[in-house]
């Protein structure tokens, strides 16, 4: 057996099979490239579902982490620490909001938003106790906790996990009329991804997000934008909502906020919303820890320059122009996305998404399929034009 085969067999034997990884075993990584235990190199065109927007081993982020490792890494929120205030202030400023509630994983940020919206509904909006409802979109992906999968429409993510948390109404994504119908006096929030990532990088029709903004404002409902995957530069803007000039009431951030180093997530909103919490009403042992804040602060500093957003725009235009040339000519039936983020639909007659991903793996390119025959492409924003072009050559060879 090769080292790869041995390590995969051992992982299969000793870990739950809740993932089905591609058959390579990564040993190290730098920038947009990963190296496996056999010494083979691969171009990472998934970037940890946008957790690696700034690439593997980004020197600024690794430096920030190393400096903090030597000072203090964890205090719990029982005590103040000297990285906390600056992280919260700078992140709030990046978002144009007043307050931050830091957590660790994306799912925890979503859970925190559900709690925030319900509490806001009872304390501020005046919804009768126990009646608060939250409207979400079909085919959403917001994480894996029991409450979050309660409003998933993906049978794989949801089956066998009941009884489910009540209080959610599901409407088709991109359909303003359906959303208008679903909102009642008991609605406290509309929770949406401004681009649905897991569903296949679905961009809503023009006017949808601004329509959601107008409707939620009119009905005194919080607009909660889950920008955990779409935010922090991926689409060419700091937030995907910006493409429609929309400012939601609440931003949910995660993935890239931890710079690919540590899990860092956050709920960001104004005092009128996040001000509902009192001591003891919510928390997390690791949320807002010194290491997380040090790395998150560096991420915010990197985004303040606009350089990564600019790269995502320029390289994204190139990526989409090249991918669109494949539509109708090869095995590709459609391409969607924004910035350095694309969903490529492959004609199922030419194989499943998994089979396409394996062919690309053989050519040294790492991507991930989603929902049957869609391939998701989201390289680190630090990828060079030359490397992107090399990746596109491999895509053309497999999909052309
Ligand atoms: C990844 C993701 C989450 C969940 O984040 P975890 O860190 O995996 O819990 C939530 N929402 C969106 C849009 C995501 O892409």
CB 150 near ligand 1, within 6 Å: no
Is 226 catalytic? The answer is yes
Query: Counting every residue, how long is the chain?
Result: 400
DSSP per residue, 290-327: HHHHHHHHHHHHHHHT-HHHHHHHHHHHHHHHHHHHHB
- pLDDT of 322 > 90? The answer is yes
Residues 116 and 274: beta-carbon distance below 8 Å: yes
* Mean predicted confidence (pLDDT) in 295-313: 98
pTM above 0.75, yes or no: yes
* Mean predicted confidence (pLDDT) in 279-297: 98
211 three-state secondary structure? helix
Q: What is the pLDDT of residues 85-99, one digit of tens each?
A: 999 999 999 999 999
**Separation of CA 400 and ligand 1 centre (Å):** 32
Return d(Cα 395, Cα 363) in angstroms, integer.
9
**Separation of CA 128 and ligand 1 centre (Å):** 31
CB 196 near ligand 1, within 6 Å: no
CB 36 near ligand 1, within 6 Å: no
* Mean predicted confidence (pLDDT) in 307-336: 96
- pLDDT of 154 > 90? The answer is yes
Reported CATH class of domain 71-304 = alpha beta
CB 345 near ligand 1, within 6 Å: no
* Mean predicted confidence (pLDDT) in 173-185: 98
- pLDDT of 330 > 90? The answer is no
Region of poorest pLDDT, from 94-103, 192-201, 233-242, 323-332:
323-332
- pLDDT of 371 > 90? The answer is no
* Mean predicted confidence (pLDDT) in 333-349: 96
CA 25, distance to chain mean position in Å, is 24
Q: Tell me which of 87, 255, 345, 387 is the catalytic residue.
A: 255
Omega before residue 163 within 30° of 0, cis: yes
**Separation of CA 142 and ligand 1 centre (Å):** 5
CB 107 near ligand 1, within 6 Å: yes
How many helices (H) and strands (E) the chain has is answered by: 13, 15
Return d(Cα 139, Cα 49) in angstroms, integer.
17
Is 255 catalytic? The answer is yes
Average per-residue pLDDT for the chain: 97
Q: What is the pLDDT of residues 48-74, one digit of tens each?
A: 999 999 999 999 999 999 999 999 999
Look up residue 260 and give its two tokens.
């690919």
Instruction: Give the pLDDT of residue 117.
Output: 99
Q: Using alpha carbons, select from 62, 69, 61, 60 the residue that is nearest to residue 290.
A: 69
State what percent of residues in the chain have pLDDT above 90.
98
Q: What is the pLDDT of residues 31-40, one digit of tens each?
A: 999 999 999 9
Instruction: Give the pLDDT of residue 358.
Output: 97
Q: How many CB atoms neighbour CB 206 within 10 A?
A: 10
Closest ligand 1 atom number to CA of residue 252: 11
Per-domain residue ranges of the chain = 3-57+307-399, 71-304
Pocket perturbation via mutation, ligand 1, pick of 141, 260, 261, 376 by most ligand atoms within 8 A of CB: 141
CB 226 near ligand 1, within 6 Å: yes
Same fold, 3-57+307-399 and 71-304: no
Instruction: Give the pLDDT of residue 329.
Output: 83
Confidence of residue 310 (pLDDT cuts 50, 70, 90): very high
- pLDDT of 30 > 90? The answer is yes
- pLDDT of 372 > 90? The answer is no
Alpha-carbon dihedral 212, 272, 227, 253, rounded to 10 degrees: -170
Angle at 369 between CA 368 and CA 370, to 5 degrees: 120
Region of poorest pLDDT, from 173-187, 284-298, 341-355:
341-355
CA 278, distance to chain mean position in Å, is 28
Residues 266 and 103: beta-carbon distance below 8 Å: yes
Instruction: Give the pLDDT of residue 313.
Output: 98
CA 157, distance to chain mean position in Å, is 17
In terms of pLDDT, which residue wins out, 349 or 118?
A: 118
Reported CATH class of domain 3-57+307-399 = alpha beta
C-alpha pair distances (Å), 129 with each of 113, 120, 125, 170, 314: 18, 11, 11, 21, 49
């Amino acid at each position: 057996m090769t080292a790869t085969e041995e390590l995969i067999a051992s992982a299969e034997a000793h870990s739950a099979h809740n993932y089905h990884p591609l058959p390579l075993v990564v040993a190290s990584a730098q920038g947009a490239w990963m190296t496996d235990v056999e010494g083979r190199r691969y171009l990472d065109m998934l970037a940890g579902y946008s957790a690696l927007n700034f690439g593997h081993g980004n020197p600024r982020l690794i430096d920030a982490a190393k400096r903090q490792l030597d000072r203090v890494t964890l205090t719990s929120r029982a005590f103040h620490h000297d990285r906390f205030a600056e992280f919260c202030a700078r992140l709030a400023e990046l978002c144009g909001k007043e307050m931050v509630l830091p957590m660790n994983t994306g799912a925890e940020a979503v859970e925190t938003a559900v709690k925030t919206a319900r509490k806001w509904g009872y304390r501020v909006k005046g919804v009768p106790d126990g009646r608060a409802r939250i409207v979400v979109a079909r085919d959403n992906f917001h994480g894996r906790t029991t409450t979050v999968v309660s409003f998933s429409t993906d049978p794989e993510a949801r089956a066998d996990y009941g009884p489910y948390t009540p209080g959610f109404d599901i409407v088709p994504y991109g359909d303003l009329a359906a959303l208008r119908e679903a909102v009642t006096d008991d609605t406290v929030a509309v929770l949406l991804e401004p681009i649905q990532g897991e569903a296949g990088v679905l961009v809503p029709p023009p006017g949808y997000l601004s329509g959601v903004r107008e409707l939620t404002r009119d009905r005194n409902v919080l607009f909660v934008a889950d920008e955990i995957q779409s935010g922090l530069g991926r689409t060419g803007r700091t937030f995907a909502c910006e493409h429609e000039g929309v400012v939601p009431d609440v931003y949910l951030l995660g993935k890239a906020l931890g710079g690919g180093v540590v899990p860092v997530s956050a709920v960001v909103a104004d005092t009128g919303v996040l001000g509902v919490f009192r001591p003891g009403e919510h928390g997390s042992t690791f949320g807002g820890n010194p290491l997380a804040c040090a790395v998150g602060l560096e991420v915010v500093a990197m985004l303040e320059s606009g350089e990564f957003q600019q790269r995502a725009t320029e390289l994204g235009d190139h990526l989409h122009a090249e991918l669109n040339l494949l539509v109708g000519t090869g095995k590709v039936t459609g391409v969607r996305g924004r910035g350095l983020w694309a969903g490529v639909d492959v004609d199922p007659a030419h194989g499943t998404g998994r089979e396409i991903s394996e062919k690309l793996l053989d050519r040294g390119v790492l991507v991930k399929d989603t929902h049957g025959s869609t391939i998701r492409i989201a390289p680190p924003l630090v990828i060079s034009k030359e490397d992107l072009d090399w990746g596109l050559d491999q895509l053309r060879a497999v999909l052309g």
